[in-house]
Chain A
Amino acid sequence: MVNGLLNPEKETGIIGWGSYIPRYRLPLDEIARIWGFAKETPRGLRTFEKAVASRDEDATTMGWEAALNALKRAGINPGEIGAVWFGTESKPYAVKPSATIIAEAFGITPDTMATDLEFACRAASEAMRIAIGAVASKLVKYALVIGSDTAQAEPGDVLEFTASSAAAAFIIGPSNEAAAVFEASYTYVTDTPDFWRRAYIPYPLHGEGFTGEPAYFHHIVNAVKGLLEKTGLTVNDFNYVIFHQPNGSFPLKVARKLGIPREKVLPGLVTPYIGNSYNASALIGLSKVLDDAKPGDRILLAPFGSGAGSDAYSIVVTDKIIDRKDKAPKVGDYLARKKIIDYGMYAKCRGLIKRVRR
């Protein structure tokens, strides 16, 4: 019990973690050149390049590789996974789950739950909270949580500067096997019209005045405050802090609002190098921090999704992390593997060129 509330989180933790970033990078200067933006526009986003999925990649394939890396680190039999929950807003099929494809590919089927979840950029984080409940209640032994997106943006829209592609995955299981245990979590959601995409419309729209203060900042600040109130912790108790990363400047700004020094945020800030990978955005930051963390470190994680909501987690690293770090490629390995492309290749890869396909 924490402050009189149920605290199932402590029964659970992260058994394995993994990420995936495609090799193509589109410099934001190239987008500004094509669409006639001032050169200073991308500078204000504190983002330099964005990762672009190639023509043979989508949310399912990227999620598969992130899950493969999580399984390598977990070292468990995939058949023991009782739930595959896939958070995305860029499903390859409008109707047909990605979760079952991935479950089948790893031999997790048929004795498992599997579904895709949607809540803009935080569906995978909601999946993580659901997984905590399922594992703590012993409904399942392990749950595979995946966040993966090939984020859409209308060509020429300011959103195009950062909408990118990547994936992150986590095996959630019992705390006595965990490389990092959940100490507590808290969720804060409201009905906020900051960003949406209606059925059959290819690109999302965003309410200009709503994306910052009433959406991103309000929800993250309140989720973090809720977590701190629930646990009695202060921001000084955390070694690393990871926020949702729609661009490179918002996470630093929300850190200032919460009195958190930027040095605790920068290790998990990957958007400047790969853009905003939506459901993978904060979770790749967590993956990167786990790649470098040491036993005893306490991590504050706060993903956000438009619509809108934020979750805050307190995660404490255990000594089991030491042997698992090197069992799969790290975020840094994927960051180092890159090929710069121009807008033409980006347009082909993201299907922006209309063709008659027979």
Chain B
Amino acid sequence: MKYSIARYWREKHSYYRLKATKCLKCGRINYPPSKVCKYCGSRELEDTELFGLAKVLTWTVIYASPSGYEEYKPLIIAMVELLGTGVRILTRLTDVDPEEVREGMLVEPVLRRTSEDGEAGIIRYALLFRPLIKGAPEIESNK
């Protein structure tokens, strides 16, 4: 077992959902969640969740993957910006080939297997982003 079960359990909500905090003073979204607003320094923040469409800002393709990720390569690592929030997330793209990725491409979050601890260990799930399914309506960026 290479993975820390305790850490995965402790951080599961960060993997399954896009947890953030919203500053009650300046209204900005802090992602990852922070107890101090990185924009105005206020300590008055409330928990919130992000979900919705994002656009691809930039990306890179990794062919020599770290251990545990061999099944999923090539890995497309992208910086995406959630529409309407300004929040930027470093994530992995899925359901897309490297040559299909474009700057400004609309993507949406999906739960996927991200790595597994050998044959018998824990399977890690997390939200990745994939190109918007045709026909999907735009949904609120910040529910």
Contacts and interface: CB of A to CB of B under 8 A. Distances in A.
A320 interface: no
A56 B113 CA distance: 5
A60 B125 contact: yes
Contacts of A334: 133
B99 to A, nearest CB: 13
Interface string A50-91: 000011111011001100000010000000000000000000
A61 B111 contact: yes
Interface string A101-128: 1001101000000000000000000000
A57 to B, nearest CB: 6
Nearest to A63: B111
Contacts of A55: 71-72, 113
Contacts of A92: 113, 123
Given A93-B123, A327-B137, A328-B136, A104 B110 contact: no
B103 interface: no
Contacts of B123: 58, 92-93
Contact of B112 (A57, A101, A107, A357): A57
B133 A56 contact: no
* Interface size class of chain B, counting residues whose CB lies under 8 Å from the partner chain: 20 to 34
B115 to A, nearest CB: 9
Interface string A326-358: 111110111011000000000000000000011
B58 interface: no
B41 interface: no
A105 B111 contact: yes
Nearest to B51: A68
Q: Which of A61, A333, A334 has the most CB of B within 10 A?
A: A61
Contact of B17 (A60, A93, A107): A107
B113 A357 contact: no
A295 B94 CA distance: 38
A23 interface: yes
Contact of A329 (B70, B72, B128, B133): B133
B16 A104 contact: yes
Given A329-B133, A333-B134, A333-B135, A57 B17 contact: no
A72 B139 contact: yes
Given A105-B16, A107-B17, A65 B110 contact: yes
B113 A58 contact: yes
A337 B134 contact: yes
B118 interface: yes
Interface in B17-59: 17
B62 to A, nearest CB: 15
B94 A56 contact: yes
Contacts of A54: 94-95
Interface of B: 12-13, 16-17, 67, 70-72, 94-95, 110-114, 118-119, 123, 125, 128, 133-137, 139
Interface of A: 23, 54-58, 60-61, 64-65, 72, 92-93, 101, 104-105, 107, 326-330, 332-334, 336-337, 357-358
